[in-house]
Structure 1
Amino acid sequence: MATDDPLLYVCVRPQAGAAAAEYRSFLTATRLAPTQLDQHDLVRNPLPDHVFDRYSGFLIGGSPFNITDPDSSKNDSQRRLEFELERIAQRAAAAQTAALFTCYGIGIVTRMLGGTVSRAWPEDTGPVAIELTRNGQRDPLLGGLASRFTALTAHKEGAAEAPPGSILLATNPACPVQAYRSGDRLYATQFHPEPTTRDFTERMAVYRNDGYFAADAYDAIASRVHAASVTEPARLLRTFARSFGPAGPA
């Protein structure tokens, strides 16, 4: 559907520098102008009133948070953030908006849809191979991608099965649920679709001591990241922008 309304990038990273860099990554990947992709810091501010009337869709970034953390360890900001992300996911599942949740966000959507997220499916930091399922090859957003491509991951939790009522679109052996769709307007990816290899290594530096990889392995992992070709994931974001954002077709 054609629209003049912008998309909204929703930041769920407490680290301001990493959040600003992630927004720039989404701008580059979608090829949208800043006026076409607004940004909102959900860590520090609740969703504004009438947010669903103002924006045609939402792009949810990654986060060092994990939904599998014990509730007792979550602060008020994280609990509020999870509640507000579920609001977005519920609206998209009901086709009242469009949304693409990435990395941490896929856990929010999976739990909301009645699926199971656990620490049994982590992936090492760096490039991984992603394979589209048959449904993925026919999907409006992912169907234009290569059936097998490289993406960048770094996460401590994941899922063995797509949640009830959703359609599995992409997979790999290490973490079986790499992407799925619920309805026509709610998408979730475990991999990061937005960063270039340089973006990703700069993000790695921010989270060097956060347990995603051994700190002294940074140089070796960064070398593998820089050697990878990650052209396909950004194409997914461009298609999302054309389909649901101000770059959408008439």
Structure 2
Amino acid sequence: YAGTIVGGGPGCVSDAPEDKTEIDARAEAACLSLMAQITDNDLPFMGCCYGIGILAHHLGATVSKDRYGETVSAVTCTKTPDGKQDALLQGLPEKFDAFVGHKEAVQHLPTDATHLLSGDACPFQMIRYKSNVYATQFHPEADGDVFATRIRVYKNKGYFPPQEADALAQMVRAANVTSAPKILRNFVKRYS
């Protein structure tokens, strides 16, 4: 394979083991079982939302629900000085909108990680470890229709009050999120 992509999911690495569903526990164990090989060998990796939790947890950073969670929305991400130089962010504006919706977040930058994108409510929107191991808190794979489907699927997963699902779906369909998907395209182009 050319690289590994870990997308979002309903699980949280910060949940106590007894609070994880069997599927979530199995998925987390499978992802974490790959991380030493990926990080030790600097293999291409893109973690999206849940994937930033997996990477940061593996690297020893705190991932929790204490701070930086974001309700379902489009948020503005801003390139850091290092982000302005990063290959995956080339061709993107200095500020752009991306879709978020997460209960847990990275609480501090993992040791030896590079901070690439920040946000107002959640400071760590994109990080890189070594040269090829990336993760985003937002969903670079999602356009408005995809995120509206996610809202429907996650309606009863605790990310938002279920009665708000229709209004949230309408809001994300109207959002102008066009730059964030370029990150995933840049990842595929760089490593394929």
What range is the shorter-chain TM-score in? over 0.9
Partner of 1:200: 147
* Paired residue secondary structure (2:163): helix
Q: CA deviation at 1:77?
A: 4.2
Measured in 2, the distance between the counterparts of 1:143 and 1:176 equals 20
In structure 1, runs of 5+ residues without a counterpart are 1-54, 246-250
Alpha-carbon distance in structure 2 between the residues aligned to 1:128 and 1:163: 23
Answering whether residue 21 of structure 2 is matched by residue 72 of structure 1, we say no
Q: 1:100 aligns to what?
A: 46
Distance 1:161 1:229 in 2: 29
Give the structure 1 partner of residue 86 of structure 2. Answer: 139
1:233 matched to 2:180? The reply is yes
- Structure 1 residues 233 and 89 mapped into 2: Cα distance closer, same or farther (>3 Å)? farther
Assess if the C-alpha contact under 8 Å between 2:61 and 2:107 holds in 1. no
**Amino acid paired to 1:71:** P
Whichever of the two has the greater Rg, that structure is 1
Instruction: Give the structure-1-normalised TM-score.
Output: 0.72
Note closer, same or farther for the CA distance 1:174–1:96 as it changes in structure 2 (3 Å cut).
Answer: closer
Residues 85 and 223 of structure 1, relative CA distance in 2, 3 Å threshold: same
- Quote the RMSD (CA, aligned, Å): 1.5
User: Percent of aligned positions with the same letter in both sequences?
Assistant: 36
Work out the CA distance in 1 between the residues paired with 2:111 and 2:44: 19
Q: Per-residue deviation at 1:108?
A: 0.9
Cα 1:137/1:129, change in 2 over 3 Å: same
Q: 1:177 aligns with which of 124, 142, 155?
A: 124
What residue in structure 2 maps to residue 116 of structure 1? 62
Size of the alignment, in residue pairs? 191
Counterpart pick for 2:165 among 201, 218, 221: 218
Question: For 2:18 and 2:107, how far apart are their aligned partners in 1?
Answer: 25
1:91 equivalent in alignment to 2:37: yes
Query: Does 2:73 align with 1:126?
Result: yes
AA matched with 1:116? T
Partner Cα separation in structure 2 for residue 224 and residue 76 of structure 1: 33
Larger mean CA deviation between 59-68 and 222-231 belongs to: 222-231
| Post-superposition offset of 1:145 | 1.3
CA distances 1:73-129 after superposition (whole Å, capped 9, x unpaired): 235543343232123332222235211011111111101111111102210102111
Tell me which amino acid in the other structure corresponds to 2:71.
Answer: D
Q: Match of 1:57?
A: 3
Gaps in structure 2 of 5+ consecutive residues: none
1:159 aligned residue? 106
